[in-house]
Amino acid sequence: MREAQHIPGDAGTGPTDLELVEAVGRGDRRAYGTLVDRHLKSVYAVALRILGHASDAEDVSQDAFLRAFERLDLFDRNWSFRNWLLKIASNLAINRIRSRGRERRLQLKLAEAEPAAGEVEPDAVPSPREWAYWLDQIDEMHRAAIVLFHFHEMPYTEIAEVLQVPVNTVRTYLYRGRKKLRELMTGRQTSENGVWSVAM
């Protein structure tokens, strides 16, 4: 958003993100350090919620800032620098999950899966590893939307900026992602004749 681009630092003083970006473009490394200090917490939080492990989130955060620095000439000055960073971090985190395949163990709590009354036994509750497996099976954009909405508690408008899609597309991603997760969980419960519903 154009407005967000002109919000100064937490202290209410100092250069805006756009001013810092322009300074970095002129070779001012200190300006880039200021951007890192300003946005590291948000970038790390997104990476951690997607990956579930602090060390992985730290690696992705560092990679995200490095990638942003390398591609700063591609940054649209009319867009939010923060959301551009979050998009980079989200994509890097998702790619890391995908590269590790089904054995990736993520400590994610997507949502509490609530069984239909009387249909599913308590010991049938999905494990963290099963959640990780299911998340790895859905489209990466659907997964990113679900993580940003349910973990990072972003509104649709911000998710749309991070993913660079219209708000209605975000709604579609969430709907299709949840539907696919329900199908995966329903398949898990076939032998018990139970049906899971994702409380989202």
Q: What is the pLDDT of residue 126?
A: 60
Fold designation for 106-200? Arc Repressor Mutant, subunit A (1.10.10)
The arithmetic mean of pLDDT across residues 10-21, rounded, is: 77
Sign of torsion over alpha carbons 153, 3, 12, 57: positive
Residue 171 and residue 156 in contact, taking contact as beta carbons nearer than 8 Å: yes
CA-to-CA distance for 29 and 145, rounded, in angstroms? Answer: 33
Could you state, in order of their start, the residue ranges of all structural domains in the chain? 1-104, 106-200
CA-to-CA distance for 30 and 67, rounded, in angstroms? Answer: 17
Q: How far is CA 83 from the centre of its chain?
A: 11
Class level of CATH domain 1-104: mainly alpha
**Is-same-fold flag (1-104; 106-200)?**
no
- Please tell me whether residue 67 adopts helix, strand or coil conformation: helix
Tally of CA atoms within 13 A in the half-sphere of 130 that contains its CB: 14
Tens-digit pLDDT profile for residues 52-111: 788 999 999 999 999 999 998 888 888 889 888 988 998 888 778 766 653 444 334 444
Tens-digit pLDDT profile for residues 128-169: 567 667 777 888 788 888 877 876 677 898 888 777 789 999
Tens-digit pLDDT profile for residues 167-192: 999 999 999 998 988 888 777 544 34
pLDDT higher than threshold 80 for residue 23: yes
- Please tell me whether residue 113 adopts helix, strand or coil conformation: strand
Tens-digit pLDDT profile for residues 101-116: 534 443 344 444 344 4
Q: What is the pLDDT of residue 4?
A: 39
Q: What is the pLDDT of residue 104?
A: 40
Q: Reduced to 3 DSSP states, what percent helix, strand and coil does the chain have, rounded to the nearest 5? A: 70, 5, 30
Q: What is the pLDDT of residue 17?
A: 92
pTM for the whole thing?
A: 0.57
